[in-house]
Structure 1
Amino acid sequence: MIIQEMTMTEFEAGLACSRTVVIPFGSVEEHGPHLPLSTDTLEAFEVARKAAGIIPLFVAPPVHYGNCRSTLCHPGTISISTTTLRMLFKDIVRSLRNQGMRNFIALSGHAGGAHCMALQDAGEELITELMDIEIAVVTELDLARAAGRGLVETAGDSHAGEIETSRILHSHPHLVKGSAPCEFPSFPPGILVRNKRRFWPGGVWGDPGKASAEKGALLEDLVVGKLVDLVKLLESGEFK
């Protein structure tokens, strides 16, 4: 049940089937010279949409902006503060709860550390505030890594590399523009640098050369399965 495509009557009827909603979080962030700025959003929304075709489930409109620190100096990255992200997540959950939802999954296509911690902090505050809800916060990358053991060849692949290039080659091939070199940036330990692009010029963390659409299709199906398992676990009542 894709909320942005539903009428109010369909939404109301859907509550008889499910009280669970996935909220896809993405970003507007550089993904090398070959992938679109919306890569994170596209991945999260596509997985949520496919999961909703397998199990009764609401999918909220994606949140297109995230907190992006390491890529802030790269062209095209548009970042919001962690405070804004936290408040946005909390407001969305409160509003959906008022509409009858009880189980919430924040599925983040963006795996930045501060971004993910902001979502987790907001989730912790919400389960303390609202005793009748359950929340899970998970990243697309974590699901892909867990599901893709033995399939992903690149150790430490994390951004615009083998995994993400494969995923977009499968789901949105028209948005992949050429190729990109393998890159593993190295930031000075402990030092907060202003010009992060100096230490990460190409905007890739991994090896796009090992990507393929076939690998992307397998990865996407595996991630969808992991999300369906998570929905069932959250709905089991085990964590009340």
Structure 2
Amino acid sequence: MLLEELTMPQVEAALAAGCRTVYIPFGALEEHGPHLPLSTDTIQAYQVGKRAAELVPLFVAPPIPYGNCRSTSCHPGTVSISTTTLRCLLKDLVRSFYRQGMHNVVVLTGHAGGAHRLALQDAGEELLDELPELRIAVVTEYELAKDEGRGIIETPGDAHAGEIETSRIMHSHPHLVQGTAPEEYPTFPTGILVRDKRRYWPGGVWGDPAKATADKGARIEELVARKVVELVRLLEEGRYV
């Protein structure tokens, strides 16, 4: 159930029927090479929620189109928010959903930046102490697909705007794919923080977009959606508290 399309009576009826789980997709407005849209991470996270909601009763929140982006901060098009803002945003959203009666929360982020991911996890940990009946999962797509996805993806170390993400957008939004891009594997200096990040990552790709296909994208989307459904069921069973 897409929350933005529901009416007040429809939400009330779904809650009365026992639906208590909300899926919150986080993305980013971030460069994805010369061939993929800035909304790639947001698109992927939202598509997975829509697919999961076809398999299990689930409220799907509108996607959050901004994230904390550090490695790509010097690339044209990337717009980043602070980790403090990100944490506050998730906490405010979960508190409001909780008041509505949605006590089970799956936070899935299509953007897998380290600081971004940790900010969401920190917010979730703080909410556990605050909301006594809350059950929450905070995950990235990569975490859910990394094991079974190895049988689909050919490129070792593929991470950003490469085979995986190009395949995903070729599947769900082919009209937004502008051809392909050269294979690239950036190397940042170990432990040293640099101002000009684009110097070490000129093309904005981490992987090989040329190996992407729409079929691979469909298979990965289905895989991640199934993993989300598993998380939903675990939260609803209350197996982990």
Q: Quick one: which amino acid aligns to residue 152 of structure 2?
A: L
How far apart in 1 are the matches of 2:175 and 2:70?
28
How far apart in 2 are the matches of 1:73 and 1:119?
23
Displacement of 1:239: 1.6
How far apart in 1 are the matches of 2:59 and 2:147?
24
Q: Quick one: which amino acid aligns to residue 78 of structure 1?
A: V
How far apart in 1 are the matches of 2:195 and 2:215?
39
Aligned partner of 2:182 in structure 1 is 181
Aligned partner of 1:157 in structure 2 is 158
Q: Does 1:8 align with 2:8?
A: yes
Please tell me whether the aligned partners of residues 66 and 85 of structure 1 are also in contact (alpha carbons under 8 angstroms).
yes
Aligned partner of 1:70 in structure 2 is 71
Q: Quick one: which amino acid aligns to residue 13 of structure 2?
A: A
Please tell me whether the aligned partners of residues 147 and 226 of structure 1 are also in contact (alpha carbons under 8 angstroms).
no
Instruction: Provide the secondary structure at the position in 2 that maps to 1:148.
Output: helix
Displacement of 1:141: 2.0
Q: Which runs of 5+ in 2 are unaligned?
A: none
Please tell me whether the aligned partners of residues 147 and 219 of structure 1 are also in contact (alpha carbons under 8 angstroms).
no
Instruction: Provide the secondary structure at the position in 1 that maps to 2:133.
Output: coil
Q: Which runs of 5+ in 1 are unaligned?
A: none
Displacement of 1:146: 2.7
How far apart in 2 are the matches of 1:96 and 1:151?
36
Range that drifts further, 32-41 or 12-21: 12-21
How far apart in 1 are the matches of 2:21 and 2:148?
23
How far apart in 2 are the matches of 1:231 and 1:200?
37
Instruction: Provide the secondary structure at the position in 2 that maps to 1:105.
Output: strand
Aligned partner of 1:97 in structure 2 is 98
How far apart in 2 are the matches of 1:226 and 1:181?
31
Structure 1 stretches of 4+ with a deviation exceeding 3 A read none
Range that drifts further, 178-187 or 140-149: 140-149
Q: Quick one: which amino acid aligns to residue 143 of structure 1?
A: L
Deviations 1:89-140 (A, max 9, x none): 0000000001110100110000000000000000000001111110100001
Deviations 1:172-197 (A, max 9, x none): 00000011011000001111000000
Q: Quick one: which amino acid aligns to residue 181 of structure 2?
A: A
Displacement of 1:165: 0.4
Percent of aligned pairs with the same amino acid: 67
Please list, as runs of the form range in 1=range in 2, the aligned pairs for 1:85-164 lying within 5 A after superposition: 85-164=86-165
How far apart in 1 are the matches of 2:178 and 2:150?
27
Aligned partner of 2:216 in structure 1 is 215
How far apart in 1 are the matches of 2:88 and 2:149?
33
Displacement of 1:147: 3.0
Please tell me whether the aligned partners of residues 44 and 109 of structure 1 are also in contact (alpha carbons under 8 angstroms).
yes
Q: Quick one: which amino acid aligns to residue 2 of structure 1?
A: L
Displacement of 1:17: 3.4
CA RMSD of aligned residues (A): 0.8
Aligned partner of 2:45 in structure 1 is 44
Displacement of 1:149: 1.8
How far apart in 2 are the matches of 1:142 and 1:159?
14
Please tell me whether the aligned partners of residues 19 and 101 of structure 1 are also in contact (alpha carbons under 8 angstroms).
yes
Please tell me whether the aligned partners of residues 147 and 223 of structure 1 are also in contact (alpha carbons under 8 angstroms).
no
Aligned partner of 2:198 in structure 1 is 197
Please tell me whether the aligned partners of residues 169 and 212 of structure 1 are also in contact (alpha carbons under 8 angstroms).
yes
Range that drifts further, 14-23 or 164-173: 14-23
Displacement of 1:222: 1.1
Q: Does 1:81 align with 2:75?
A: no
Length-normalised TM-score, structure 2: 0.98
Aligned partner of 2:234 in structure 1 is 233
